[in-house]
Structure 1
């Protein structure tokens, strides 16, 4: 999520950028600004060693009735997010990323849209696949109907429904503007193009092609891959692919470990689907960068680089620990999952002064980064909770542990995390809305307000991204591998 902090609780609804001494920005935040960026990392011990839940039932029961019902409710939330504005969006469209309560209105981030496509395909039911195709068609439409560019790029986010901005300026349209162009997210500045925000839609479109054999999806994925290799191939000493461009189309020179992991997965899919060896070269170029980020002494991937020359080692976030396993499945890097499950383990207890959990509640999982554990940042006057659970990351870890499946410990740890997520689904985000209509079944982004350490926070608001990762874990789906591939 971008580093616009909107307080969904108070009446002060003016968007603000969190200003503090910031490390390089993550994929989710840099495009709002014009500064530097780099993304995630990880390191090692035992996934069950410290802080993860021990499993078993939690008080209050499960209002969704069963684990299977919880999974169905999550998928229904993704469909509701896609259909939030039925009178305006009758054709290709994208899902609204967050419930209305966050204050980002109808913003649809392409990263979340890509996750939703893969999650809906993982569900397997016909209605879910139909919604996946609608979102895939939305990504293709956005690519083909950008108001400025025709080079295959996607923007960070789009508007998919009407709203009145904080300054009183009305935005009455849906995903498609009257002139036929895609409704890009200009109000919040979500106009740039990041490599990770290209690779994930490319992965989703590749997965759609593999399922449907509709050539439009593969063609669009190839255009995305071509944009990445044409515009971000780095010749700096560390190599890999640089960050992308900001909203003014100015290149951002940073290199992200997370992005390059995305590229390894994406380009490997394109190689398999097109049989074009050029994609192997691109995957190898990204992989070489990822390998350079590995620190064998700690069993960690560093964050990336600010300039293509020096490695950035702080903060250490979760994503590259989980995604490196899902994309690479390399035994030499498997310890990153264990580090994530130990070093980033948190337990949010309602009795803590900065917790936002309902009275009597307690929830365990993992947080975003090492910086999250010590941050004292405030968003709209609310102090972050250092033990806030990042639900998207918690489900990333569950997904990766189930995929690694090393003995019984991985499965037990993953199942314990899923118990926590299902409980969060039951008791957090109740009464929230999409397009003004109350929704159920979504997973909130965080159990309590948390700071990522990358200049933005996560809130207790239902989120397409967190919900999609829950579906991946629930269905034992690795989103970074073509379904059926080894």
Structure 2
């Protein structure tokens, strides 16, 4: 069974959060397990994360690069100080005109990932780089207020929709998209969704 770096980033953040607010549950152990997988997907030589594993559950999937994996890792609590080096990979492998693509074929702008990059730039103090992306994101606003998923009519991801797929049939289309809108809002607010707001309730120690 294949394993996803993105999914393990998600659940590592979730379990760290649960450990902070809930006295019940072995959240620290669960967080450590997920974080250990994320750490193992970091390739020091190329300074980026593998998207996950092949179907054997252990061999890195070297055939595709995923943008969100490189970016979400930067938002984890106690992110490794080496990881911002992945932004050079992002800019080289995923960069398109005024933004970023989902994968490394660079066939178009993925608004959601471009907003993620804007947030990461802000968190790392690169406000000028973030502002350039905000200008791009603003151009993708739909009349209804949501942001379009893409600038182009369709972009590829290199991924399959499900286990029955026989090809890389997961695409994004130029349609209003909740994920793109949510990440645009998070970036504008400079809000890291992986950590509680200051003053949030915490469990008794």
CA contact (8 A) 1:325 1:334 kept: yes
CA contact (8 A) 1:337 1:401 kept: no
CA contact (8 A) 2:140 2:150 kept: no
Give 1 or 2 for the bigger CA radius of gyration.
1
1:466-486 residue CA offsets vs partner (Å, 9 max, x unmatched): 00000001111001111128x
CA contact (8 A) 1:341 1:397 kept: no
CA contact (8 A) 1:391 1:444 kept: yes
CA contact (8 A) 1:392 1:469 kept: yes
Gaps of 5+ in 1: 1-252, 348-363, 374-385, 431-439
In the alignment, which residue of structure 1 is the partner of 2:147? 443
CA contact (8 A) 1:254 1:307 kept: yes
1:258-297 pair list within 5 angstroms: 258-276=6-24, 278-297=26-45
Equivalent residue for 1:398, pick from 103, 118, 138: 118
In the alignment, which residue of structure 1 is the partner of 2:202? none
Aligned partner of residue 140 in structure 2, secondary structure: helix
The structure with higher relative contact order (CA 8 Å, sep 6+) is 1
Equivalent residue for 1:346, pick from 84, 96, 115: 96
Structure-1 separation of matches of 2:73 and 2:8: 10
What is the CA-CA distance between 1:276 and the residue it aligns to? 4.0
Q: Does 1:472 align with 2:186?
A: yes
Aligned partner of residue 304 in structure 1, secondary structure: coil
Give TM-score scaled by structure 1 length. 0.37
Equivalent residue for 2:70, pick from 312, 321, 340: 321
In the alignment, which residue of structure 1 is the partner of 2:158? 453
Structure-2 separation of matches of 1:324 and 1:404: 13
Structure-2 separation of matches of 1:472 and 1:341: 21
CA contact (8 A) 1:256 1:303 kept: yes
Structure-1 separation of matches of 2:81 and 2:127: 17
Give TM-score scaled by structure 2 length. 0.86
1:73-472 pair list within 5 angstroms: 253-276=1-24, 278-305=26-53, 306-328=55-77, 329-347=79-97, 364-370=98-104, 372-373=105-106, 386=107, 388-405=108-125, 410-425=126-141, 429-430=142-143, 440-448=144-152, 449-454=154-159, 455=168, 456-472=170-186
Aligned partner of residue 458 in structure 1, secondary structure: strand
Aligned partner of residue 450 in structure 1, secondary structure: strand
In the alignment, which residue of structure 2 is the partner of 1:215? none
Aligned partner of residue 311 in structure 1, secondary structure: coil
Structure-2 separation of matches of 1:401 and 1:308: 32
Moved over 3 A (4+): none
In the alignment, which residue of structure 2 is the partner of 1:118? none
Q: CA RMSD in A?
A: 1.5
Gaps of 5+ in 2: 160-167, 200-205
What is the CA-CA distance between 1:338 and the residue it aligns to? 3.0
Structure-2 separation of matches of 1:269 and 1:471: 21
Structure-2 separation of matches of 1:258 and 1:314: 16
